[in-house]
Amino acid sequence: MATTNALNLISQGMAYFNGTGLFSAPVLTQRGVVIGDAANAIKTVAAMTDGQVIIGSTGADPVPTSITAGSGISLTSGAGTLTIASIGGGITWQTTSANVALMSINNGYICISPGGALTLGLPTTAAVGSTVRVALNGATSWQVTQAAGQSVRIGSNITTVGAGGSLTSTAQGDSVEIVCVVANTTFLVVSSVGNITFV
């Protein structure tokens, strides 16, 4: 009978067997995480926040913690997500003959035929040092567009803040390299070829 009762408790999640005997299941509160400690007991870790992970520690219980971004790395956390990206760690080039709603950071876009007057939106999430590049090689033209609160400095000129501002090519071969200087909002043209117009 004792064995039957023990099995029932285990099957219902009310008790656990640690190799030598039964002990009570811990009470989970606030979406805590269950871990095992040095005494083979099961316990809970406090509720975690967006982007946290469980990190082990020699001779101590694992703990929830936030990852710290090192040089050249950006971290973007959300509910159940953690995105790790490099900043200024090289450009991944791609061709496009279609509009690009939002350019990806550290990407370059070569606008090709049969593309017409293409629009390419600045990334809305960009850490300082994030870079995008645009080049014209066959499409009619390119225009770098902005979201609310965004602007681009090109030389001594600054585009209109928000969706009304833009940079536009005027001839084949026109290209720009744009780097983020204030997270998400302010960008700077650090190199360009051609007569780029701004609004």
**Which structural domains are found in the chain, ordered by start?**
87-198 (2.60.120)
Which of these, 153, 149, 176, 177, lies nearest to 163 by C-alpha position?
Answer: 149
102-147 per-position pLDDT tens digit: 999 999 999 999 999 999 999 999 999 999 999 999 999 999 999 9
pLDDT per residue as tens, the chain (199 positions): 455 554 454 445 555 555 555 555 555 555 667 777 666 667 777 778 888 888 887 888 888 888 887 766 778 888 888 888 766 567 899 999 999 999 999 999 999 999 999 999 999 999 999 999 999 999 999 999 999 999 999 999 999 999 999 999 999 999 999 999 999 999 999 999 999 999 9
Helices marked H in 64-180:
none
First to last CA, the chain: 83
Q: Would you state the structure tokens that stand for residue 21, as one six-digit string? A: 């005997």
pTM for this prediction: 0.61
Q: What is the DSSP string of 95-124?
A: EESS-BSSPPTTEEEEEETT--EEEEEPPS
**Residue tagged 């681009």 (tokens):** 152
Q: Is 38 exposed, middle or buried (0-12, 13-18, 19+ CB in 10 A)?
A: exposed
